Amino acid sequence: MKDILKTGIILFVICVVAALGLAFTNEVTKGPIAEQRFLANEQAKKEVLPDAASFADIKDANLESIVSQFQPITEAYLGLDASGKTIGYVFKSTPSGFGGNVEVVTGISVEGTVTGLRVGAHNETPGLGAKAKDAAFYEQYAGKSASEAIIVSKTDADGNDIQAITGATISSAAITSGANASIDAFKWIMENGGLEK
């Protein structure tokens, strides 16, 4: 009985020390992790809407309307020129891919052209769906019209089509669904007179 009690106390002390160590590590790294996420988000916005001098969050009722109507969009931003005029919109969406949610950032100019797309955090299959982060894939979206949906093609793509990643059609379709949700949100914004800062 003494041995069981002694072992239980030792295990309890080890668990307490481990939990305190994890809590301390979490507290110390929380700030730097948040900063890195912020910087990655800013970089992605700049890459998908390169003509923007700055970005402003779309908030409150406008964001609630976009998020509720155009799932899987989670965030939306105004792209502003140096004088503060809206020149485009950036949308972050999290469509469901083969390995879980895929973070997709899409830029659209006020003229109705997709200016870029980037893939952020994901759990897609290495060597297949993970190729979505390759420029050869995501650069296909730039220049596509936001007047109609983008279609995934398994063969040569033309018009508003993009060519799927070989062996990763589900990942390609998920990313494209994020881009199409962004197009739909953009159309809704423009039909309602656009948004200004």
pLDDT in tens, 91-149: 999 998 888 899 999 999 999 999 999 998 777 667 666 788 899 999 999 999 999 99
Q: How confident is the model at residue 89 (pLDDT cuts 50, 70, 90)?
A: very high
The tokens describing 193, both together, are 């007179």
Give helix 169-191 / helix 60-69 axis angle, nearest 10°. Answer: 140
Strands (E), 81-142: 86-93, 104-109, 114-119
When comparing pLDDT for 94 and 195, which is higher? 94
- Segments making up each domain of the chain, as ranges: 46-191
